[in-house]
Structure 1
Amino acid sequence: MPIVHADRLTRIGAALLRGAGASEEEAQAVAVGCVNANLAGHDSHGIIAVPTYIDRIKAGHIVPGAKWTIVQESPTTTVIDGNWGFGFHVNAKAMELTIAKAKTANVAACTVFRQSHVGRLAHYPLMAMREGMIGIATADSGRSPKHVAPFGGREARLGTNPISIAVPSELEAPFYLDMATSAVAAGKIQLAVARGERIPTGWIIDAEGRHTTDPTDYRKGGALLPLGGSEGYKGSGLAAMVEVLCGLLTGLGFGVEPTGRHNDGRFMAVFNVAAFRPLQDFKREVAEFARYLKSTPASEGSPGVFYPGEVEFLREQERGKNGIEIEDATWDKLRALAGEYGLTKQLDLA
């Protein structure tokens, strides 16, 4: 598998997206978002997704250049129609607007609908964190095809429905949560297929509802399992609540529409820490809390405690220095797209 540095991988992703019709701003937003996911170790949301996004452009499911619009708003709330634009681009604008409102009103929230995949969810709460605020984001796939079987079932009825929360601190590595409410993100199944790897028991069931370690069973009528293993009702319940916030509150609804068009729904909220207590005191205490968590002796077979967001930061440092390993199947798709758009020589992908 080739090892590619982040800046080159970003240039490749952005050039291919521009070749498919994305504007410079859109292409950069998507490419940077994907490569940042690779850097953090979330390869399922990394450059592997770019060929899928281009397929969706070709199918008319993503509309490059679409202008997002505000449907209704108040001093603390906004409802945004993405008009089938790039989720990366639309949601960054939505979070910027929500942060601006929270600077005035201290608390603000928004919903976003009719947009493509939003990528790694943590990107948006981290925007609020950098402004001294607590950011919360949840996402679902609207009425797109579902991937997760509710606890006790064998057919998919839910999305992977992630939740992300980021808080400001004095820590070098940001303190944030970014998790799917399923046992694993759907992209990790795709990644295992691309790499020819088996997957752990507890990630998926096959079409008959049986546990399997073969990732190809997923595309043969299988389903992801909810977070929690034998206590999967917890992940299933969280996913259902995310569906309410991002599917029902946005007006997207539930179930699956026949077109199969991917349609992420979003709910995001921002809280200005200074409205509750002095920001510097809060940031200092979050850092002290993280150190308190890490101070426990390690359990048997464990390297010790990592606070939320720390592992991603360490991976980012390592991959930023040494490069990102790209599976051959993904690299071949990128090369094929470069050939299609006459970019092989420009991107040195011969």
Structure 2
Amino acid sequence: MPNVPAEKLIEVARSLLVAAGASEQEAEVIARYNIGANLVGHDSHGIILIPTYIDRIKVGHIVPQAPWVITQETATTTVIDGNWGFGYAVTDRAMRYTIEKAKTQNVAAATVFRQSHIGRLASYPLLAAKEGMIAMITADSGRSAKAVAPFGGAKARLGTNPISFAIPSNLDGPFVFDMATSAAAAGKINVATARGEQVPTGWLIDAEGKPSTDPRVLKSGGALLPLGGAEGYKGTGLAAIVEIMSGLLTGLGFGVEPSGRHNDGCFIAVFNVAAFRDLVTFKQEVTEFAQYLKATPLAQGFTEVFYPGEVEFNKERDRRKNGVPIEDATWGKIRDLAHGYGLADKLGF
């Protein structure tokens, strides 16, 4: 399993995407966010996805250089049609647009529909936190194939339906919360499959509704379980709310349509902290709150308490210094693509 510098991964992803039809600007945004996921340890949302995106371009499910269109707008709200463009580029622009609205209106929100996979959710609210704002985002795959069984069910009816918040602070690393409402993100199952590993008990059921630790069952009629284990109704409830905010409110709907086209919808909200509290005071209080959490006496078997986002921050510092481990199966696909596009020599394969 090679250990690859992040800068190299970004260049590889960017070059392959341009060769597949993305504009230089789109490829730059996608590569930065995509490899950013690798850096913080979320390999399920990193370079392992680039071959999938290129496959989707080839069959017309992703439209490079698609127009970004506002279909409805008020002073505080925006509805955006991504026209099947790259989700990273569409949502990056949507979040930045919403941040600008919040600077003058204090609270702003947006929905986005008809776009491809948007990757690691935390990437987007972090843009707002850097501007002294609190932001949230939810995402749902609309009427794309589902992966999560509702609590008590044996078949998938929900997406992994993630939700993320970012909060401004004075901490060394960002105070950011990002979770799937399923026991694990579907991408983590793909990583385990690529690495030939089993997954923890409580993540999956097979096609007959029986518990399984074999990641391959997800693509053989199995399903992910909702967050919460024995109290999985909590994960199901959260997933249902995300589906409504990002699927129904955007007009994507629910259920599954036969096209198989991945269709991320998202809901974005941004809150200008200065409209509620003095920003300097608030950021310091968030910092002190995180420190208060970290000072909690430790339970047996634990060595440290982390504030939300700290584990990823520590992982990023390590991987920027020591490189990103990429499983052989993924690196082999990337190498094959580089050869196929005549980029092997340029990219050092």
Please give the range of the TM-score, normalised by the shorter of the 2 chains. over 0.9
Q: Which residue is equivalent to 1:338? A: 338
1:1-350 alignment, distance < 5 Å: 1-349=1-349
Q: CA deviation at 1:30?
A: 1.0
The Cα RMSD (Å) is: 0.5
Aligned-partner Cα distance in 1 for 2:245–2:184: 21
Aligned-partner Cα distance in 1 for 2:217–2:155: 13
Aligned-partner Cα distance in 2 for 1:154–1:104: 48
- 1:66-109 deviation per Cα after TM superposition (whole angstroms, max 9, x unaligned): 01100010000000000000000000100111000000000000
Shifted more, 291-300 versus 80-89: the winner is 291-300
Aligned-partner Cα distance in 2 for 1:117–1:217: 22
Aligned-partner Cα distance in 1 for 2:96–2:220: 40
Aligned-partner Cα distance in 2 for 1:163–1:332: 32
Contact 1:165/1:176 (CA < 8 Å) preserved in 2? yes
Aligned-partner Cα distance in 1 for 2:304–2:65: 47
Q: CA deviation at 1:123?
A: 0.6
Aligned-partner Cα distance in 2 for 1:45–1:32: 12
Contact 1:45/1:120 (CA < 8 Å) preserved in 2? yes
Q: CA deviation at 1:195?
A: 0.2
SS at match of 1:80: strand
Aligned-partner Cα distance in 2 for 1:74–1:232: 38
Aligned-partner Cα distance in 2 for 1:191–1:126: 25
Aligned-partner Cα distance in 2 for 1:19–1:264: 24
Contact 1:64/1:85 (CA < 8 Å) preserved in 2? yes
Amino acid paired to 2:9: L
- 1:181-218 deviation per Cα after TM superposition (whole angstroms, max 9, x unaligned): 00000000000000000110101100000000111111
Count how many residue pairs are aligned between Structure 1 and Structure 2: 349
Shifted more, 104-113 versus 301-310: the winner is 301-310
Amino acid paired to 1:206: D
Aligned-partner Cα distance in 2 for 1:333–1:214: 22
Q: CA deviation at 1:227?
A: 0.3
Contact 1:297/1:304 (CA < 8 Å) preserved in 2? no
Aligned-partner Cα distance in 2 for 1:343–1:254: 41
Q: CA deviation at 1:296?
A: 1.0
Aligned-partner Cα distance in 2 for 1:188–1:303: 25
Q: CA deviation at 1:331?
A: 0.2
Q: CA deviation at 1:304?
A: 1.8
SS at match of 2:345: coil
Aligned-partner Cα distance in 2 for 1:217–1:157: 16
Aligned-partner Cα distance in 2 for 1:83–1:25: 17
Aligned-partner Cα distance in 2 for 1:329–1:304: 34
Q: CA deviation at 1:303?
A: 1.7
Aligned-partner Cα distance in 2 for 1:254–1:282: 39
Aligned-partner Cα distance in 1 for 2:217–2:72: 43
Aligned-partner Cα distance in 1 for 2:28–2:265: 22
- 1:96-145 deviation per Cα after TM superposition (whole angstroms, max 9, x unaligned): 11000000000000000000000000011000000000010000001000
Contact 1:57/1:63 (CA < 8 Å) preserved in 2? yes
SS at match of 1:312: helix
Question: Following superposition, which runs of at least 4 residues in structure 1 exceed 6 angstroms of deviation?
Answer: none
Task: State percent identity of aligned pairs.
Answer: 67
Aligned-partner Cα distance in 1 for 2:131–2:26: 23
Aligned-partner Cα distance in 2 for 1:28–1:223: 34
SS at match of 2:347: coil
Amino acid paired to 2:160: T
Aligned-partner Cα distance in 2 for 1:31–1:196: 26
Structure 2 portions without partners, runs of 5+: none
Aligned-partner Cα distance in 2 for 1:227–1:72: 34
Amino acid paired to 1:180: A
Aligned-partner Cα distance in 1 for 2:59–2:26: 18
